[in-house]
Amino acid sequence: MAELPADRILLRGIAARAVVGVYAFEREASRPLSFDLELACDLAPAGASDDVADTLDYDAAAAVVHAVCAELAPQLIETLAETVAARLLGLPRVAAATVTVHKPGAVTGVEDIAVRITRRHDSAPSV
């Protein structure tokens, strides 16, 4: 298994809306979600060149989140996380993606629930 780059690009608090949930009332309208992304990329070329072409397109990464939320209406936030991670791995330079999906207010008395997954090109799901 190839070693991952130590470098990371972090996108925190990507606000999105999606229809997600098991219960009928959750299926009636989209709800606010928040996504955090941690993308393993080799950033040395960009650091050396100071050229945007040598790094990850941050807008493209955020757009993946918005596209998945617009296309899917899953029961589980786990499904959103898996789909976002798979698509992020399709972006140039991304060797691994950690995706956290926050679903605030999903459980009464709990401020936030979240799932976090890490996926990489050359491995099974990570724990």
Domain of residue 93 covers 8-120
90-125 CB burial, b ≥16 within 10 A, e <16: ebebbbbbbbbbbbeebeeeeeeebbebbbbeeeee
CA dist., res. 101 & res. 99, Å (int): 7
What's the DSSP call for residue 68?
H
In a domain, 49, yes or no: yes
Indicate whether 126 pLDDT > 60.
no
pLDDT of residue 87: 98
Is residue 103 part of the annotated active site? The answer reads: yes
| Residue 15 Cα distances to 31, 37, 53, 94, angstroms | 11, 12, 26, 21
**Active-site residue (options: 103, 118, 119, 120):** 103
Indicate whether 2 pLDDT > 80.
no
Report the domain count for the chain.
1
Tell me: the pLDDT tens digits for 36-61?
999 999 999 999 999 999 999 999 99
In a domain, 3, yes or no: no
CATH code at position 116: 3.30.1130.10
The pTM (predicted TM-score) of the whole model is 0.92
Q: Per the structure block, which two tokens stand in for 24?
A: 């009928």
